[in-house]
Amino acid sequence: MGRVEGKVVVITGAARGQGRSHAVRLAEEGADIIAIDLCENIDIAEYPMGTAEDLEETARLVEKTGRRVVTRQVDVRDRAALETALAEGVAELGRIDVVIPNAGILPIGAGRPVTAFTETVDINLGGVLNTVHAAMPHTTERFSVIVIGSVTGLLPSPLDTTPAGPGFAGYRFAKKTLVNYVDSLAVQLAPSGSRVNAVHPTNVDTDMLFNDAVYRSFRPDLEAPTREDAEHGFHTIQPMPIAYVDTSDVTNAVVFLASDESRYVTGTHLKVDGGALAQKTL
Q: What is the mean pLDDT of each run of 10 residues along the chain (282 residues)?
A: 96 98 98 98 95 98 98 98 98 98 96 95 98 97 97 77 84 97 98 98 96 91 92 93 97 98 98 94 70
Amino acid code (one letter) for 49? M
Answer yes or no: are the C-beta atoms of 240 and 274 closer than 8 Å: yes
Amino acid code (one letter) for 73? Q
Q: Strand pairing partners for 204? A: 245
pTM: 0.96
The pLDDT assigned to 280 comes to: 80
Answer yes or no: are the C-beta atoms of 24 and 61 closer than 8 Å: yes
The pLDDT assigned to 155 comes to: 86
* Helix (H/G/I), strand (E/B), else coil: 99: strand
The pLDDT assigned to 162 comes to: 57
Q: Where are the beta strands (DSSP E) in 113-272?
A: 139-148, 195-201, 269-272
Answer yes or no: are the C-beta atoms of 1 and 31 closer than 8 Å: no
CA 162 to chain centre: 24
Q: Show which residues are catalytic.
A: 171
* Helix (H/G/I), strand (E/B), else coil: 22: helix
Q: Where are the beta strands (DSSP E) in 149-228?
A: 195-201
CA distance 248 to 227: 21
The pLDDT assigned to 226 comes to: 94
